[in-house]
Structure 1
């Protein structure tokens, strides 16, 4: 038996050797493939975690933008309300009414006498302003039902020292001021929203890159010898993650809040005077006519043609000129405002300026203004002044009661007195500039192009963040479809020559194509 077994092994030793070799090679190949599969699975898991972390960072950044806008918007609102004091004009109109009543009837007959038709119209208009606008008690010194308070006001401020204006002049001022104030706040809110998105997403991009570089260079972080380095080759300063650089950069929004909004207000006032100057507050106007006049104002401010809108320069309203940067830093409370800006800060400001001057900025801003003006005219004015029921897709405000609106077969032909619409303009100005539960900000942030623009800002031009190109950068996040696009999409979005503007515009075009494709689906 043993000899037979030996003879069998001797006869088949070649086959057994080949079989053992095949089995060994198969085992090694299996182990190799298993290792590769495990490595690929681990790499995919790491990429998925990295994308999820990046997405969370991006979404948190957008929430921070919203809270930041709500926090600093009241500063611009206060400046605009002080520059256009509609409530003072209302007070003058009430004084006119009280004086007219005191001259026409006796004090005992004021409460019971019927006013003429013209006076009745004025009374209804003034009551509309009182009920529909935020007028402080200290600002309104004359009540509609008595003349005693009128004499008190006259005692405090002698009428001889003031230039007396006619009722028609006051109503014209009321008309221009109410509309200009609301429109200026809409422009300011839209500009502040997109400026904040640019600032916080640029800082978010740099902080993200700094964290990736820190993880990629653990040896440098473990060094026990720390040398102070304020030059631009310091990674912390180069990527803008130091607190002082970020604080100085964000302080540039002071310009829009205190100077840019006032310059914009003058531009809007000129357009409103030109368009609404011939409108009589006592006349009736349809919602369609009001919408057309509003569009004419926008054309004069933003540009009448697509080319004019594309080349419109918004930068002077958003950022100071280089000669005024030190002034802005001083006014915003920077203690070291006299020191020259660091190269890191200079790069941030310059890139912000390039983004504001890009055609994509004006395209997104136009979409934001469309949403803001639609919220004011087609929703708020339509509901509160024209009593038109809101469309099913819109959410009516809390101040709109169901019994106040009516279904009209042709809403565009609904009519109301211009004075009634002015009262709503006056009230909505405070809502537009509110830092709490701002429906206009919600309407603006619902525009899809805004998030696409923020994604492009957050994830493009990473090659320009390299401090002297001293080390290779990790794969950068998406530039076109948000923060989770593929590497090939990111590479296609960047130009070969490294032009910042061209790269951004290419990335923006890809984002627009993806947004249109998603909308069609």
Structure 2
């Protein structure tokens, strides 16, 4: 029996060997397939986590941009309001009206009346037969009622301060023209400043957010030292960990952000002169007592924008805004000193490091790109539409509110409703404070609803990772699971935001002109925004 069994196994030993081989191969193949499935599942999980992490950081970055704009906008507003003191001109007009009434009625009646507003002062001027002639009559009446001049005790030929003030006093026509130009210029300048500040802040914080994101990914991809592999360590990979920024570059980030001082103190005033010249050219011949339609006011507003931004699409694409947003290279040291980043004693040492210079150069290239002017035009469309189609329409022309999704400065439904220019000037004066307000800013809300703004921020945040390499050889580590996750997270970052990574090359080559890679990313970003809103 035992011998027979042994002979049977001997005769079928080949079949047993083949069967065992098949079973072993099947087992190994099964284990291989299970391993690949587990690896793919882990990779998908890592990609999902990376996408959520990048999305969370990006959305937080955009919220930080909003709060930053609201925090620093009052500085520019104060500078513009000081440069265009419309309230002082109005006060002088009211003073002249009070003097005129004082000669025609008793002082008790003057005291009992309330201070006149811009519209009230215009109504009083409307009663005269001629706006221009009345102003000169009023000026002569002041000169006749002031009395003879007195001489100084030490110098008999010197005029008194009262006489000098009387000679330098402007006529009512001059005051009205100054208030008209200044009130409109002030509101328009603040709209331009708000739009430019919003874009500049988005560029700055998204560039820094991109660097911090890549720093955290590289930190996770770095293999721990051999002597620490068996130890448990707690690490901070959040955005508030400044140690993970390349080379502890917190000081460079502070200096880079301080460059917005130029727009807040110098750029807005330079822009104001450009806007003032356009407003004076367009609105200069308009009489404050004249009644115009809202459509006519919109046409005049568009004429001002054409003179400031350009008439054709090509002119707007080539319009340069860099001089208003960033200082020239020879003035960067001055800006850093004025913003408190450096002191005069540090002037001997270089303050613009290679890292800071790279950030400034890339920011300059972004500002000079056609996409920047395209987004800026859309932001200005929304801001001017809110001012003219909403505020002026409701407060000056008493037109019921319409849906802001259909409101456009270029497309206003014709209406026969007319209002005096002086009434609109009063609204312009009040809205200037609302445009530059840091609380409940309706204009900033209208600007941030422009879809191109978020698309532009996504392109800035997810493009050009190649230029943020922390140093030679840092990213060329041996391939590990964390290293593979690093490359995966960088690859999916563009897809998550609806854009693609730009091709390698210099920073200026990447952003100069209508670069194909950037335009492709820009198109994907807009398509992604349309998909999310659909």
Give the TM-score, by structure 2 length: 0.78
The 1:358–1:392 alpha-carbon spacing in structure 2 relative to 1, beyond 3 Å, is: closer
Which whole-Å CA distance do the structure 1 matches of 2:306 and 2:329 have between them? 30
Q: Deviations over 1:260-304 (max 9, x none)?
A: 000000100000000001111111111111111000000000111
Which of residues 469, 472, 476 in structure 1 aligns to 2:475?
472
What is the CA distance between 1:51 and its match in structure 2? 1.4
CA contact (8 A) 1:210 1:241 kept: no
Structure 1 position 178, deviation (Å): 0.7
Match of 1:303 among 307, 310, 316: 310
Is this contact kept in 2: 1:240–1:246, CA < 8 A? no
Bigger shift: residues 350-359 or 383-392: 383-392
Structure 2 residue runs of 5 or longer lacking an equivalent are 114-118, 127-145, 147-160, 229-241, 477-485
> Could you tell me how far apart the structure 1 residues matched to 2:87 and 2:406 are?
29
Contact 1:480–1:508 (Cα < 8 Å) also in 2? no
Q: 2:110 & 2:378 partners in 1: Cα distance? A: 52
String of CA shifts for 1:297-334, please: whole Å, max 9, x gaps: 00000111111111111011011111111111111112
Q: CA 1:480–1:72 in 2, change beyond 3 Å: closer, same or farther?
A: farther
Aligned residues of 1:248 and 1:334 also touching (Cα < 8 A): yes
Distance 2:491 2:275 in 1: 35
Instruction: Please say if 1:506 is aligned against 2:481.
Output: no
Cα offset for 1:354? 1.1
**What is the CA–CA distance in structure 1 between the aligned matches of 2:504 and 2:124, rounded to whole Å?**
63
> How many Å separate the matches in 2 of 1:236 and 1:111?
67
Q: Which residue of 2 aligns with 1:371?
A: 382
Structure 1 Cα separation of the partners of residues 209 and 394 of structure 2: 40
Unaligned runs of 5+ in 1: 114-118, 127-150, 152-156, 224-234, 397-408
2:459 to 444, 456, 476: 456
1:64 deviation in Å? 0.8
Query: Once the 2 structures are TM-superposed, how far is the Cα of residue 8 of structure 1 from its aligned partner?
Result: 5.5
SS in structure 1 of the partner of residue 22 of structure 2:
helix
Of residues 16-25 and 496-505 in structure 1, the stretch that sits farther from structure 2 once superposed is 496-505
> Is the CA contact (8 Å cut-off) linking 2:289 and 2:421 kept in structure 1?
yes
Q: Assess if the C-alpha contact under 8 Å between 2:462 and 2:493 holds in 1.
A: no
> Contact 1:302–1:312 (CA<8 Å) still a contact in 2?
yes
1:180 aligns with 2:185: yes
Which residue of 2 is the match for residue 228 of structure 1?
A: none
Cα distance in structure 2, aligned partners of 1:478 and 1:256: 33
Matches within 5 A, 1:219-298: 219=224, 239=246, 241-298=248-305
Which of 342, 345, 348 lines up with 2:356 in the alignment?
345
Superposed, 1:485-496 pairs within 5 Å as 490=500, 493-494=502-503
Deviation at 1:479, TM superposition (A): 9.4
Instruction: State the partner residue of 1:433.
Output: 436
- Measured against aligned partners, the alpha-carbon deviations of 1:174-214 in whole angstroms (never above 9, x if no partner) come to 11111000000000000111001111111111112222222
CA distance in 2 between counterparts of 1:5 and 1:44 reads 54
2:329 pairs with 1:322: yes
Q: RMSD over aligned Cα, in angstroms?
A: 3.3
Number of residue pairs aligned between Structure 1 and Structure 2:
461
- CA 394–222 in structure 1, closer or farther in 2 if over 3 Å, else same: farther
Cα pair distance change 1:240/1:346, threshold 3 Å: farther
When normalised by structure 1's length, the TM-score is 0.80
Distance 1:509 1:279, change over 3 A: farther
- Taking the aligned partners of 1:479 and 1:316, their CA distance within structure 2 comes to 35
Equivalent residue number for residue 332 of structure 1: 339
C-alpha contact 1:281 1:417 (8 A) present in aligned 2: yes
Residue 62 of structure 1 deviates from its aligned partner by 0.9
Distance 1:496 1:320, change over 3 A: closer
Q: Which residue of 2 aligns with 1:422?
A: 425
| Cα distance, 1:101–1:55 mapped onto 2, change above 3 Å | same
User: Distance in 1 between the 2:16 and 2:125 partners?
Assistant: 107
In the alignment, structure 1 residue 30 sits paired with structure 2 residue 30 = yes
1:61 paired with 2:72, answer no
- Alpha-carbon offset, residue 442 of structure 1: 1.0
CA 1:518–1:200 in 2, change beyond 3 Å: closer, same or farther? closer
Cα distance change of structure 1 residues 97 and 497 upon mapping to structure 2, 3 Å threshold: closer
Is contact 1:255-1:318 (8 Å) kept? yes
The answer as to 2:172 corresponding to 1:161 is: no
Post-superposition Cα deviations, 1:434-463, rounded to whole Å, max 9, x if no partner, equal: 011111111111111111111111121121
- 1:388-409 deviation per Cα after TM superposition (whole angstroms, max 9, x unaligned): 122235699xxxxxxxxxxxx9
- CA distance, structure 2, for counterparts of residue 479 and residue 219 of structure 1: 24
Name which of structure 1's ranges 24-33 and 268-277 shifts more when overlaid on structure 2: 24-33
437-446 or 213-222, larger mean C-alpha shift: 213-222
Change (3 A) 1:442 1:124: farther
1:15 CA displacement:
3.3
Secondary structure of 1:285's counterpart equals strand
Aligned residue for 2:292, secondary structure, equals strand
Secondary structure of 1:457's aligned partner:
helix
Deviation at 1:412, TM superposition (A): 3.9
Matched, 1:484 2:496: yes
CA distance in 1, matches of 2:59, 2:368: 25
- For 2:506 and 2:420, the matched residues in 1 are separated by 59
The answer to whether residue 202 in structure 2 is matched with residue 207 in structure 1 is no
